[in-house]
Structure 1
Amino acid sequence: MGKHIIRRVIALGVVAIFGIVGMQTYWVATTWNLNDTEFSQKAQLALYGVARQLAAENKADLPKRDIVRQRSSNYFIVNTESEIDAQRLEYLMQQELQRLNLDIDFEYAIFDCSTNEMAYGGYCYADTPQLPDDGPVAGSYLPPDESLLYYFGVKFPTRIGYIWQKMQLVIFLSVILILTVVFFIYSMIVILRQRRLAGMQKEFIDNMTHEFKTPLSTIRIAADVIARDPYVASDARLARYAQLIYDQYERLNEQVEKVLQIARIEKGSFDVQREQIDLQELLPPLLSSARARTEERDGHLTWQLPDRPIPLHADPLHLANILHNLLDNAIKYGGETPHIAVVGRISRGHLHLAVSDDGPGIAPEHQDRLFEKFYRVPTGDVHDVKGFGLGLYYVNQICRAHRWNIRVESKLGRGTTLHLRIPLSTTSEAVTA
């Protein structure tokens, strides 16, 4: 994953998180305000109902205004202008709260004219019909109102807990959101750490492959000198060893070059040098070399191409490389005696090139990942085919750079075919080239 992509992901993620957290915070605050307003309204309705019933029992009139005064968020004073019986007040309070579905604890006090203070009445629980008066709750204080004469005060000490209880769904979703944010932050840390490790690994591989170039060149020169020596040439065993050294050099150099090419592609320094070429001149040497390798394994290679020039506008080096990789893959994975077929046809201004083998085939679940870097089809504990999983990745990158289409067609037990679709070059393209 590129540096710019990671920055975009982090930036968009941070914006999204701030947006979601802001919306969630607004939702929580709005829900709290609605529940708080609902609580205050229900409490005032309940207290007004109590005052009205007390006035009716005392055959007195209620004040015309300011019957229920909210002194704080959980403390209310009710003006009755008539005497108040504590037992009756407690009963009526419980009845009114139940009627309004306001299941909450409360404590009350009645103003005492003789002492000019609030006489504590008791603490009533929502789930207990009636509780004996055990005196004031520790730390509880219900302040009086100097402007009134006959009144009582009611305090709801569990108001905050009651509102939070009604917001259980909101709290649950908020916890899920917090966990999601934590998971996102943790994921970003892991991604950045993995990217740093991947960068270190990639830098190590690039340095290592570059360091291989000098000894490989020395090995090639030494192998050429040994092979040209008359004494070595006259000894069949030494000549075979000299050829073996050169063949292994070619194999290792090919892998190193492939790694270097892919490194250039990923660094962005990769450039396609398009030229006007004829596939009929480029392909035969590759087919001859592939046929020789196939026949060494008692297999055979056939090809069928249009009997006409096939003009293409492409990078000849990379085109030769991808054709070599396709043929090499077909030989490697074509079974013990590979039967390779190369078929080309021209249709609607495009060359359709198919490279087929009759090997074991590829399962459908692996076909979509065939062009991934370092991916190799799992074969259990058997590793009879050597490689790094870079060949088809390189082929796919070159095809993308040329805007060509490549796809795989395979069935288990019936071989594999790689289809390459390349537009033919026109006269105008040839002139431009």
Structure 2
Amino acid sequence: MKLPSKYIALLVILSLTGIFAYQAYWLTGLYRTMRNDLERSIAEAMRISDYNEMMCRVKRLRQTSTRHGTVDVSAGFIPEEEPSVPNKAVTVVSVANEDSLPQTVRTDTVFKEEPRSALHTGDGMDFILEDRHNMDELASYLQKGLHAGLDSFSDPDIQVFDSLLTLRLQREGVTLPHRLEYLYRGERFTDTLAVAGTPGYLPSPEARTYEYDFDAHSHHRYRLTLEPIDRLILQQMSGILATSFIILLILAFSFWFLIRTLLRQKTLEEMKSDFTNNITHELKTPIAVAYAANDALLNFDRAEEKAQRDKYLRICQEQLRHLSGLVEQILSMSMERRKTFRLHPEELSLQEITEQLAEQHRLKASKPVRIAIRIDPQNLTLLADRTHFCNILSNLIDNAIKYSPEEADIEIHCRTIGEGKKEAQTEISVRDHGIGIAPDRQKHIFDKFYRVPTGNLHNVKGYGLGLFYAKSMTEKHGGTLSVKSEPGRGSTFSIIFPTPPLTPPS
């Protein structure tokens, strides 16, 4: 059971819509995931930059020798001086008490790795934190506790924090201008203690803010203001978006080509059906006429009178010739597609062939026909397959007669073009003064089964094979067939053969 074309087109459109919808859903999900990851990276960058800012202050404490008790800080970072020792706690600060002697202070300011997921106790017991959330929460508490002790010695340096944060954001691919604020939030008010960031930057109404509380009571915080990160995410997704777009284009083109092919096959099937109906009628007509003439000779004593006998015999001969021509064209259309198809070229006299074909068409035409033949030079010859060349020229003459309204005035001109050059050619043109062909129809007249609408000219019969056959056979000979026409002023069909077009078989 064959589905109508509209249902096939509907299924294809639904399939494309489903693919587009799924692709859009997948890309939207990817966008959200990347956005959430980038926002988490920004928050993590603020936390790590805060930690590194504290380490910088610890270094300054070492240089000042201020006596405010002892502070021990352990952070699992690898120092630049010891790159071969992984995950070693290397930042230790000892500041002397007022009642004791000054202690040695050791610290480092270059950090290369995140803290290990472990808690070290004084009695030698180590606890490995398997849960990532518990580790993050513990690290947050430890960092805030470190702030509580360290901030009593010195205030946070927002400029150092801003420099560290800028470097960290650049590592994450965030290169947007930003504004950084150091805030104190009380119960009834919020005070801005310091401001840093990109010089001259003024946040737009669409700018996003990210806050990081660094004390246990959430009174002190950093506020980072950035422009929307959507453009950054789209830039990171540019490769995926381009690939998806190309895939969708390929799919859309493939489905379009599929629908176009199906519609063309349907049109071709309809044309073949019309051809079958037309050719059946064309084949039945000469058979019926020849049968009637033969029946008259056998059963109605028409054979006794010579004039009547000759008349009916000529009718039979003409109809059989017409029938033979129809069969020849059908067989030729089938043969020209076979790999075993071969031409049998021979040297042909154009004068002889054109005169014979002109006489045949004058005799069988149902309207007055005048055919003028001009051959330059008179003895011009052509190397071609006799049967197929005669069929090509006969089709052109037949069309010229059929599409001439009341009487046919045809000119056949054979000549050599490019004479004296290395590649001389032979041109045979057939010109009529008939109804002509519209410009938009001319590009289709050589298509199989195509017939030009004839308007009020209703007596034109055919099945759209003549010109297709003529062009196919001309190209088999290595030549070309073209047309020049104007509506109401006639048409000129030109055949151009190389000289010689073919090499005769040995």
TM-score with structure 2 setting the length: 0.52
Change (3 A) 1:285 1:60: closer
Change (3 A) 1:36 1:420: same
Partner of 1:401: 476
Of the three residues 335, 339, 343, the one matched with 1:264 is 335
Of the three residues 91, 99, 103, the one matched with 2:202 is 99
Partner of 2:444: 369
Change (3 A) 1:253 1:158: farther
Q: Which amino acid counterpart does residue 393 of structure 2 have in structure 1? A: L
Of the three residues 387, 396, 403, the one matched with 2:462 is 387
Partner of 2:369: 299
Of Structure 1 and Structure 2, the greater helix share is in 1
Partner of 2:258: 189
User: What's the CA shift string for 1:321-351, capped at 9, x where partnerless?
Assistant: 0111111011111221111122223442543
8 Å CA contact 1:36, 1:163 repeated in 2:
no
8 Å CA contact 2:290, 2:319 repeated in 1:
no
* 2:349 equivalent to 1:278: yes
Change (3 A) 1:378 1:89: farther
Aligned runs of 1:213-362 on 2, under 5 Å?
222=291, 225-226=294-295, 228-229=297-298, 231=300, 233=302, 250-251=321-322, 254-294=325-365, 296-306=366-376, 308-347=378-417, 348=419, 349-362=424-437
Change (3 A) 1:264 1:205: farther
**Hey, what's the Cα distance between the residues in 1 that align with 2:378 and 2:389?**
19
Change (3 A) 1:239 1:262: same
1:98 to partner: Cα distance: 5.6
Give 3-state SS (helix, strand or coil) of 2:214's partner. strand
**Hey, what's the Cα distance between the residues in 2 that align with 1:90 and 1:322?**
98
Change (3 A) 1:253 1:233: same
User: What's the CA shift string for 1:264-288, capped at 9, x where partnerless?
Assistant: 3234443222223333333332111
8 Å CA contact 2:396, 2:430 repeated in 1:
yes
**Hey, what's the Cα distance between the residues in 2 that align with 1:206 and 1:380?**
20
* 2:213 equivalent to 1:110: yes
8 Å CA contact 1:399, 1:406 repeated in 2:
yes
Give 3-state SS (helix, strand or coil) of 1:341's partner. strand
Larger radius of gyration: 2
1:193 to partner: Cα distance: 3.5
8 Å CA contact 2:433, 2:491 repeated in 1:
yes
1:300 to partner: Cα distance: 1.8
Q: Equivalent pairs: percent with the same residue?
A: 22
Partner of 2:184: 85
Give 3-state SS (helix, strand or coil) of 1:85's partner. strand
TM-score with structure 1 setting the length: 0.59
Report the count of equivalent residues.
Answer: 351
Give 3-state SS (helix, strand or coil) of 1:275's partner. strand
User: What's the CA shift string for 1:217-253, capped at 9, x where partnerless?
Assistant: 9869856743642625259999989977775665455
Give 3-state SS (helix, strand or coil) of 2:489's partner. coil
Change (3 A) 1:270 1:162: same
8 Å CA contact 1:356, 1:417 repeated in 2:
yes
8 Å CA contact 1:276, 1:425 repeated in 2:
no
Q: Which amino acid counterpart does residue 319 of structure 1 have in structure 2? A: F
Unaligned runs of 5+ in 2: 1-22, 55-150, 175-181
**Hey, what's the Cα distance between the residues in 1 that align with 2:275 and 2:436?**
33
User: What's the CA shift string for 1:71-122, capped at 9, x where partnerless?
Assistant: 99799xxxxxxx95132359959999963669443352423346xxxx3x8x
Partner of 1:148: none
8 Å CA contact 1:74, 1:157 repeated in 2:
no
Of the three residues 471, 493, 505, the one matched with 1:418 is 493
1:299 to partner: Cα distance: 3.3
Change (3 A) 1:227 1:67: same
**Hey, what's the Cα distance between the residues in 2 that align with 1:233 and 1:378?**
42
8 Å CA contact 1:107, 1:156 repeated in 2:
yes
- Superposition RMSD in Å: 5.6
Shifted more, 200-209 versus 357-366: the winner is: 200-209
User: What's the CA shift string for 1:40-89, capped at 9, x where partnerless?
Assistant: 69x87xx99xx99xx9xx976569789549699799xxxxxxx9513235
**Hey, what's the Cα distance between the residues in 2 that align with 1:105 and 1:304?**
89
**Hey, what's the Cα distance between the residues in 1 that align with 2:309 and 2:358?**
30
Give 3-state SS (helix, strand or coil) of 2:337's partner. helix
Q: Which amino acid counterpart does residue 420 of structure 1 have in structure 2? A: I
Change (3 A) 1:186 1:242: farther
